[in-house]
């Protein structure tokens, strides 16, 4: 085949391929060359309208735009029939690619042609950095023909049909629908364990505000320790802080010594000891003998240690149950060819995981009534019994779990590698290959791939830096929101019952998003990657705070106590009844908080798992959880502002802070959305057993 005048059926055929590759090289009216990412498909006429001058400077340097992702081919279309006003110049393109495709130059050979050429150059990574050689017209034509053959071969490869179970081609990845796979049984068992643990955690901690704040005489409702609002807020905030510091210890034990499974079992035992202390010191006899405050402090220290050791390991353990690391083609019952996408499956796993967390947190539907009509200790006893169910599930289900062994000194190696990076001011300096070239450390116990994974984990840790602000906002629902509810007319509804609207909203919205919204967005090719979801979570959380500030203003505007709720004027039968505002008006604030969790918290769990090396899943998860501890510390600093009437302005300030952080977060990290697939692909390079597609299909067929 020779390159002479061609009809545009051929050109459109090749142009369509180039457009699917997302990039094309075109000449503009000044004779320079540029690249651009197509948001819409340009017509042939758009290309024809680009005039060509007689000369184009050779060795034109070109810096690729930061958001441009190099694809496998570029195209230059020159049409002699529509460029008769210009002496058309056949241009042969040499494409030089450098490291990471960050910079390349174009050597543009100019040969006067009697007829135009339709030239396509494939990026075969020519290693030729010399000055552009001089070709005669025949050599140019010959070389372009070779490039066309290379293009034909790649075009055929990209358009072949991959059989079920095979890895999809680039064209299939862009044209076929991506789906999530169903969860294995072992993942559901881990979800049940987390449900039981969260039932316990929320069921007891949701009572702490009243337990610590109110006195036993019942003048303010059911209470025990009588340490007033600020004292209760301080202790409960410390408990939250402690619960999110201790995951670091659990992560180190798991990743370096015992593994995730054994570590979870160990800290379940610790957790039960703390629950026993709480139950025993909350019975009336113990309170009468002054054991309440001391017992409560000891209990929250032990419980915080137990829940922290579980937290950092149960989230990565549930994702470990899913073995597939690479995309695979499959056919649904309806005959549609789709792509099983591990990233979407991990997203589904954490959506279900978070749904189970919030299903467990509905224990607050029961424990506040047990507190109100019986006492605190039966509610704490119920939590202990439920936790025992979760412990039995983790122990008896041992044979079903995928359990990774610990990797020895992986945490130590990670910190050693970080020190080498810092010392040399180069993130590649910790690689053995770099050390060998620069006469560095004689021997290291890791390979280059470990350093690449560590760099990916550092990216995740940078993303987590904004989360403390979010957790300050989130923490309001179990503290100051409870107090706010107590300042309104309850109409028989306990003030600490209102916080159940947070998990209820999550349980309602997760299925809607997972089965309706997200699939529709994928069908419409609308990306919704983690960084975007996290940013949206911050903004929705700001709406919750703004609404809470409005509710607080309504409370201060109503009698009988106005900006000092629960004053003596509101007491009926010795108990404060709150200002004349219905407690149900607070509901939307909890709904906003719940929706923000789906975007920010679930995506954070997902990001912590997918960006962590396999040997450091628990440790990176603990880094994410540590941001909650920093959030609790910030909330502790705000405790002096949690009084009437200043608390309304505290809510307003948090609303502004969360909104601004969401915008800044997106501005800084949105470029990571484009690198999402590349970073996730590092896991596929590890020696992980793949789930056989046929076995998975026998369990369940995707719809």
What is the CA angle 578-579-585, rounded to 5?
A: 95
pLDDT at 130 over 80: no
Helix (H, G, I), strand (E, B) or coil at 108: strand
pLDDT, one tens digit per residue, over 192-236 is 999 999 999 989 988 898 899 888 877 777 888 888 877 888 888
Query: What pLDDT does residue 140 have?
Result: 39
Tell me the CA distances in angstroms from 396 to 349, 391, 399, 670, one per residue in order.
Answer: 22, 9, 8, 44
Query: What pLDDT does residue 682 have?
Result: 61
Assign domain 177-409+445-699 one CATH number from 1.10.3720.10, 3.40.50.970, 1.20.1250.20, 3.30.390.50: 1.20.1250.20
Q: Lowest mean pLDDT of 118-127, 297-306, 549-558, 562-571, name the range.
A: 118-127
Question: Domain map of the chain by residue range?
Answer: 8-158, 177-409+445-699
pLDDT band at 645 (very low <50, low <70, confident <90, very high): confident
Task: Give the Cα separation of 296 and 294 in Å (integer).
Answer: 5
Tell me the CA distances in angstroms from 642 to 231, 478, 636, 650, 656, one per residue in order.
Answer: 11, 14, 10, 7, 17
pLDDT at 611 over 70: yes
Task: Give the Cα separation of 532 and 535 in Å (integer).
Answer: 5
Number of C-alpha atoms within 13 angstroms, CB side, residue 405? 3
Which residue in the block uniquely carries the two structure tokens 């990216």? 459
pLDDT band at 440 (very low <50, low <70, confident <90, very high): low
Task: Give the Cα separation of 220 and 213 in Å (integer).
Answer: 9
pLDDT, one tens digit per residue, over 483-494 is 888 888 878 787
Tell me the CA distances in angstroms from 364 to 178, 197, 478, one per residue in order.
Answer: 38, 13, 11
How many C-beta atoms lie closer than 10 Å to residue 394's C-beta? 23
Query: What pLDDT does residue 476 have?
Result: 84
pLDDT, one tens digit per residue, over 619-644 is 888 889 889 888 878 887 887 877 77
Regarding beta strands 571-572 and 575-576, do their DSSP bridges make them parallel or antiparallel, or are they unpaired?
antiparallel
CA dihedral 282, 285, 288, 289 (to 10 degrees): -100
* Greatest mean pLDDT among 5-14, 426-435, 467-476: 467-476
647-651 average pLDDT score: 89
Residues comprising the chain, all counted: 703
pTM: 0.69
Assess contact for 320 and 686: CB atoms under 8 A: no
- Percent of the chain whose pLDDT exceeds 90: 29
């Amino acid at each position: 085949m020779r390159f002479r005048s061609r009809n545009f059926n051929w050109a459109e055929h090749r142009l369509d391929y180039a457009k699917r590759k997302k990039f094309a090289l075109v000449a503009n009216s000044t004779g320079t060359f540029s690249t651009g990412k197509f948001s819409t498909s340009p017509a042939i006429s758009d290309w024809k309208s680009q005039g060509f001058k007689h000369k184009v400077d050779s060795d034109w340097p070109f810096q690729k735009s930061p958001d441009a992702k190099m694809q496998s081919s570029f195209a230059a279309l020159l049409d002699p029939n529509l460029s008769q006003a210009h002496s058309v110049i056949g241009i042969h393109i040499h494409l030089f690619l450098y490291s990471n495709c960050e910079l390349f130059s174009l050597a543009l050979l100019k040969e006067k042609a009697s007829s135009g050429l339709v030239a396509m150059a494939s990026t075969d990574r020519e290693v030729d950095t010399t000055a552009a050689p001089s070709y005669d017209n025949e050599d140019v034509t010959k070389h372009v023909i070779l490039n066309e053959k290379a293009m034909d071969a790649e075009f055929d490869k990209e358009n072949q049909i991959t059989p079920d179970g095979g890895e999809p081609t680039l064209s299939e990845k862009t044209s076929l629908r991506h789906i999530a796979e169903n969860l294995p049984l072992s993942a559901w068992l881990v979800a049940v364990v987390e449900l039981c643990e969260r039932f316990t955690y929320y069921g007891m901690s949701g009572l702490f505000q009243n337990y610590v704040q109110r006195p036993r005489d019942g003048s303010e409702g059911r209470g025990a320790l009588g340490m007033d609002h600020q004292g209760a807020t301080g202790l409960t905030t410390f408990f939250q802080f402690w619960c999110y510091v201790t995951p670091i210890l659990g992560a180190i034990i798991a990743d370096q010594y015992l593994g995730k499974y054994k570590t979870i079992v160990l800290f379940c035992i610790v957790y039960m000891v703390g629950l026993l202390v709480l139950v025993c010191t909350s019975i009336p006899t113990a309170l009468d003998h002054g054991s309440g405050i001391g017992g409560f402090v000891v209990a929250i220290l032990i419980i915080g240690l137990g829940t922290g050791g579980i937290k950092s390991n149960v989230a990565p353990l549930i994702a470990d149950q899913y073995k597939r690391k690479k995309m695979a083609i499959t056919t649904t019952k309806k005959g549609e060819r789709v792509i099983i996408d591990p990233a979407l499956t991990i997203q589904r796993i954490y959506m279900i995981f978070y749904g189970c967390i919030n299903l467990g947190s509905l224990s607050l539907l029961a424990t506040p009534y047990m507190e109100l009509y019986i006492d605190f200790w039966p509610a704490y006893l119920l939590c202990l019994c439920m936790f025992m169910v979760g412990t039995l599930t983790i122990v008896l289900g041992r044979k079903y779990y995928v359990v990774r062994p610990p990797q020895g000194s992986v945490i130590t190696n990670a910190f050693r590698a970080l020190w080498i990076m810092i010392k040399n001011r180069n993130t590649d300096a910790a690689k053995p290959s770099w050390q060998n070239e620069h006469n560095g450390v004689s021997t290291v116990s890791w390979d280059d791939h470990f350093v690449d994974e560590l760099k990916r984990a550092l990216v995740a840790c940078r993303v987590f830096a904004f989360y403390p602000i979010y957790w300050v906002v989130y923490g309001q629902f179990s503290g100051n929101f409870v107090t706010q509810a107590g300042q309104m007319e309850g109409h028989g509804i306990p003030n600490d019952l209102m916080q159940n609207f947070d998990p209820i909203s999550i349980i309602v919205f997760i299925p809607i998003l997972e089965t309706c919204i997200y699939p529709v967005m994928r069908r419409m090719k609308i990306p919704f990657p983690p960084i975007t979801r996290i940013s949206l979570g911050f903004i929705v959380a700001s709406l919750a705070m703004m609404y809470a500030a409005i509710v607080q203003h309504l409370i201060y505007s109503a009698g009988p106590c106005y900006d000092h709720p629960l004053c003596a004027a509101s007491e009926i039968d010795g108990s404060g009844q709150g200002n004349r505002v219905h407690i149900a008006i607070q509901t939307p604030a909890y709904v906003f908080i719940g929706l923000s969790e789906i975007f920010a918290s679930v995506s954070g769990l997902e990001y912590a798992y997918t960006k962590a090396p396999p040997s450091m899943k628990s440790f990176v998860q603990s880094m994410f959880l540590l941001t909650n501890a920093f959030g609790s510390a910030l909330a502790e600093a705000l405790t002096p502002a949690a009084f009437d009437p200043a608390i309304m302005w505290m809510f307003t300030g948090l609303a502004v802070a969360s909104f601004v952080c969401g915008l800044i977060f997106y501005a800084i990290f949105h470029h990571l959305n484009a690198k999402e697939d590349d970073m996730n692909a590092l896991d596929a390079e590890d020696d992980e057993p793949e789930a056989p597609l046929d076995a998975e299909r026998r369990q369940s067929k995707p719809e």
